[in-house]
């Protein structure tokens, strides 16, 4: 196996990559409030991988969006690598997210008019790397994921599994401390999903990134360090 491309960012090693404390989130449903998260406490240590296995509608996406600073909680606190996000302005939240978090969505959300290489290079250029540096890392990551012969393909010229591998490479491009994945293989057939899982678990191990991965796939969940579920709006540890 080739050397793993880059590791998770250093510094503040003892702080958990992610800490959720008393996180609550409700949605207005007509005159009623739908309480989805009712006091979520969750700690993901640096380098630890956690599977979130919970029924549809239980609040997995909501939890991941709050952890990824894409959505606000109504109550409670979110700490990323020891930094409290409670009083950050939008610009600071965005910066903290860019520096520390990689996100993989169920549907890849790649930019259709750009190649696989450009999709992976872009977040690095936004962060200030030169085109040459960003391209080199993007090429390394994509090659590691078995896409070395697909660098110039646009998403529409890639299979579903290949698109999702590009999305994995994009999420890890900036060597984040924390990887959040929302059903990363939910829209793939079982065989393709196995390949993507393999690539994902291998990269999580190789880079030492902390990961919180929502999945219905118990096989993937069994390969993570811990498994948790959502019960009545709270995170509960599974055996």
Residue 62 sits in the site that holds ligand ATP (CB under 6 A):
yes
Q: What's the CA gap between 197 and 201, in Å, rounded?
A: 6
Counting contacts by CB under 6 A, is residue 61 touching ligand ATP? yes
Size of the site for ligand ATP (CB under 6 A): 11
Task: Record the tokens describing residue 71, joined without a space.
Answer: 């959505």
Q: Which listed residue (23, 60, 147, 193) binds ligand ATP by CB under 6 A?
A: 60
Asked if residue 27 binds ligand ATP (CB under 6 A), the reply is yes
For ligand ATP, give the closer residue by CB, 169 or 214: 214
Residue 135, CA distances (Å) to 7, 115, 181 in order: 17, 11, 24
Residue listed under structure tokens 């959502």 = 230
Q: Residue 212 Cβ, how far from ligand ATP at the closest point, in Å?
A: 13
Of the candidates 218, 206, 194, the one whose C-alpha atom is nearest the C-alpha of residue 169 is: 206
Q: From CA 159, how far away is CA 135, in angstroms rounded?
A: 22
Q: Which residues contact 142 (CB under 8 A, 6 or more apart)?
A: 116, 117, 120, 148, 150, 151, 165, 166, 169
Pick out residues in 100-159 that bind ligand ATP (CB under 6 A).
Answer: none
How far apart are CB 36 and ligand ATP at their closest, in Å? Answer: 5
Q: Under the criterion CB under 6 A, does residue 36 sit at the interface with ligand ATP?
A: yes
Tokens of 237: 């540890």
Distance of CA 150 to the CA centre of its chain: 23
Stretch that binds ligand ATP, among 12-20, 57-65, 129-137, 199-207 (CB under 6 A): 57-65
Among the listed ranges 11-19, 54-62, 123-131, 144-152, the one in contact with ligand ATP (CB under 6 A) is: 54-62
Using the rule CB under 6 A, give the single segment among 3-11, 49-57, 126-134, 191-199 that binds ligand ATP: 49-57
Q: Are the C-beta atoms of residues 133 and 81 closer than 8 Å to each other?
A: no
Q: Which stretch binds ligand ATP (CB under 6 A): 42-50, 52-60, 113-121, 131-139?
A: 52-60
Please report, for residues 102, 197, 200, 232, the alpha-carbon distance to residue 185 in angstroms, rounded to integers and kept in the order given.
16, 7, 10, 25
Binding site for ligand ATP (CB under 6 A): 27, 34, 36, 54, 56-62
């Amino acid at each position: 196996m080739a050397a793993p491309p880059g590791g998770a960012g250093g510094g503040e090693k003892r702080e958990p990559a992610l800490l959720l404390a008393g996180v609550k989130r409700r949605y207005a449903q007509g005159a009623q409030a739908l309480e989805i998260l009712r006091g979520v406490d969750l700690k993901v240590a640096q380098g630890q991988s956690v599977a979130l296995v919970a029924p549809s509608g239980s609040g997995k996406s909501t939890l991941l969006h709050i952890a990824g600073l894409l959505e606000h909680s109504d109550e409670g606190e979110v700490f990323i690598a020891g930094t409290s996000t409670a009083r950050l302005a939008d610009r600071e939240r965005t910066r903290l997210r860019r520096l520390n978090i990689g996100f993989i969505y169920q549907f890849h959300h790649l930019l259709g008019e750009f190649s696989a290489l450009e999709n992976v290079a872009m977040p690095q250029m936004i962060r200030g790397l030169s085109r040459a540096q960003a391209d080199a890392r993007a090429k390394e990551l994509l090659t590691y994921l078995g896409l070395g012969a697909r660098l110039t393909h646009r998403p529409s010229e890639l299979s579903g599994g290949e698109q999702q591998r590009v999305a994995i490479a994009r999420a890890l491009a900036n060597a984040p401390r924390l990887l959040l994945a929302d059903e990363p293989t939910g829209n793939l057939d079982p065989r393709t999903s196995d390949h993507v899982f393999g690539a994902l678990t291998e990269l999580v191990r190789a880079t030492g990134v902390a990961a919180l991965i929502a999945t219905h796939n118990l096989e993937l969940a069994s390969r993570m360090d811990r498994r948790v579920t959502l019960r009545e709006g709270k995170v509960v540890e599974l055996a």
